[in-house]
Amino acid sequence: MQNVRPAAVAGSFYPGDPDRLARDVDALLHAVAVPSGSAAPKALIVPHAGYVYSGPVAATAYAQIRPAAERIRRVVLLGPAHFVSVRGLALPDAQSVETPLGRIEVDPAMTEAARTLAAVRISAEAHAEEHSLEVQLPFLQRLLGNFRLVALAIGGAKPEEVASAIEALWGGEETLVVISSDLSHYLPYDEAVQVDRGTARRIAELGPELLSHEDACGATPINGMLLVARRRKLRPKLLDLRNSGDTAGGRDRVVGYGSFAFYEEG
């Protein structure tokens, strides 16, 4: 096992300079108002494009965990594998992961718990260039400070396999679950708005109909999360729904971004 999975997309998806990165993330988070006394979510769905495109939408979700920031000591992070064919769910072959803001320890106990599942394997290749997981880490570092990580790159997996992994790693109030996914890809602006509204409605209603990879590139981890949400009677909330045409791009071919929170009863 290698000691560190180094940052792969610093300087492209987000700033590579640590001071600028910290300032940019803090500015995104501070732009989101969270009412005092708000309950903190147990799970989030957040986008994973470059910060100039999806950063404001991701920040809308991450700001919601401020009330629980001192309690959260573990993050279970799941996102689609974009570059390497993976059967099932892949853990990194590393003891820590790195961003310009520092290193995050991979949780050894929860990693071993995940490895007992038949669909879970170790793959350094699946994580080496994967941005869907990495871009989430600076937000978590600025909000939580010291925490441990369980990162899973999701490939050809069944929703039930993803759900089983989430359940095995669920933990208590010390654990946050994060699903990384963008929504529709490269549709004209008006069409994307309609498609993404339909996808957001299905997520917010915990609908049993599976999302496709045309709905969301992280459809597989989202579908697994929705299974868990239905079983645990979580309360979903749509936080933000925009696309690259709203943030930093043209409107001929856009990528959709949504952020959602899931709350436990009580």
Tell me, yes or no, whether 246 lies in a domain: yes
- Binned at pLDDT 50, 70 and 90, residue 207 comes out as confident
The yes-or-no verdict on residue 17 having pLDDT over 70 is yes
First to last CA, the chain: 41
Mean pLDDT across 29-50: 94
31 falls within a domain: no
Q: What per-residue confidence (pLDDT) applies to 205?
A: 96
Average pLDDT of 87-103? Answer: 97
Q: In the predicted model, what is the mean pLDDT of residues 247-258?
A: 96
Give, in order, the Cα–Cα distances in Å from 126 to each of 33, 168, 257. 36, 21, 23
Q: Is the pLDDT of residue 122 over 80?
A: yes
Checking if the pLDDT of 105 tops 80, the result is yes
Q: How confident is the model at residue 265 (pLDDT cuts 50, 70, 90)?
A: confident
pLDDT of residue 140: 98
21 occurs within a structural domain? no
If you average pLDDT over residues 173-201, what whole number do you get?
98
Residue 58 counted as domain residue = yes
Task: Report whether 126 contacts 33 (CB < 8 A).
Answer: no
**Which residue matches tokens 């520092």?**
102
State the chain's mean pLDDT as an integer: 96
Q: Is the pTM of this model over 0.95?
A: yes
**pLDDT at residue 1 greater than cutoff 80:** no
- The answer to whether residue 236 sits within a structural domain is yes
Tell me the pLDDT tens digit for each residue of 213-223: 999 999 999 99
Q: Is residue 206 part of a domain?
A: yes
Number of helices (H), then strands (E), in the chain = 10, 12
CA distance 153 to 84: 10
Give the Cα-Cα-Cα angle 244, 66, 207 (nearest 5 degrees): 55
pLDDT at 264 over 60: yes
Q: Tell me: pLDDT of 2 over 70.
A: no
Closest CA to 82 of 154, 174, 190: 154
> Is 207 in a helix, a strand, or coil?
coil
Tell which residue, 37, 38, 14, 35, has the closest CA to residue 26.
Answer: 14
Q: Which domain holds residue 246?
A: 1-8+41-79+93-100+137-174+181-251+262-266
* Number of compact structural domains in the chain: 1
CA dihedral 217, 155, 133, 199 (to 10 degrees): 30
Average pLDDT over residues 59-64: 98
Residue 36 has a pLDDT of 81
Tell me, what's the pLDDT at 266? 67
Does residue 23 fall inside a structural domain?
Answer: no
Task: Provide the pLDDT for residue 53.
Answer: 98
107-135 mean pLDDT: 97
- Residue type (1 letter), 189: Y
In a domain, 24, yes or no: no
